[in-house]
Amino acid sequence: MCIRDRSLGDLAAGTTVAVEWTGGGETRTVTEHVLPPQATFEVTYEPSDGEESGGVVTLVHAGGDAVDAERLDVVVEPATDGLRPWDPDADTVTAGDETTVAVDGEARMAVVVFREREVLHREPLGDEE
């Protein structure tokens, strides 16, 4: 059996591509992959004034594909506990849209995540020189 490269043409972000196997009268899905959006993000971190750690992290969709807001999450490590929705009230995240995350502790890394598992952007915070 020989599998050759196949072109599926231009597929939009969010399109599900499935590999199926048919045998014995049954079709089974072997694997599925959702195409991630091609988007860029900018991150800024404003530490708290004074002696307390923490601050505010702002993430901005800087360009590229629009993203279904239900599929876009952010996490600030190690300051937040898991993924947070980009904006639970939005339908779509497009260039210029932003979200902020207030953190009580030290913020070292900001991450934008698609579909709870695919990293779209990762950026170190603080004094990374």
Let me know if residue 69 belongs to a domain: yes
Let me know if residue 33 belongs to a domain: no
The total number of structural domains that make up the chain: 1
Let me know if residue 1 belongs to a domain: no
Give the pLDDT band of residue 129 (cuts 50, 70, 90): very low
Q: Report helix, strand or coil for 8.
A: coil
Could you list the beta-strand ranges (E) of 1-129: 16-23, 26-34, 39-47, 55-64, 67-68, 72-77, 84-85, 92-93, 98-103, 109-114, 118-124
78 prior amide bond cis, ω within 30: yes
Let me know if residue 116 belongs to a domain: yes
- Give the structural domain span for 80: 39-124
Structure confidence by residue, pLDDT tens digits, 99-117? 999 998 888 999 999 999 8
Let me know if residue 93 belongs to a domain: yes
Give the pLDDT band of residue 32 (cuts 50, 70, 90): confident
What pLDDT score does 48 carry? 86
DSSP state of 37: P
Let me know if residue 56 belongs to a domain: yes
Let me know if residue 55 belongs to a domain: yes
- Of residues 74 and 34, more confidence is placed in 74
Let me know if residue 14 belongs to a domain: no
Structure confidence by residue, pLDDT tens digits, 38-79? 999 999 999 888 767 789 999 999 999 999 999 999 999 987
User: Sign of the CA dihedral 8, 13, 16, 18?
Assistant: positive
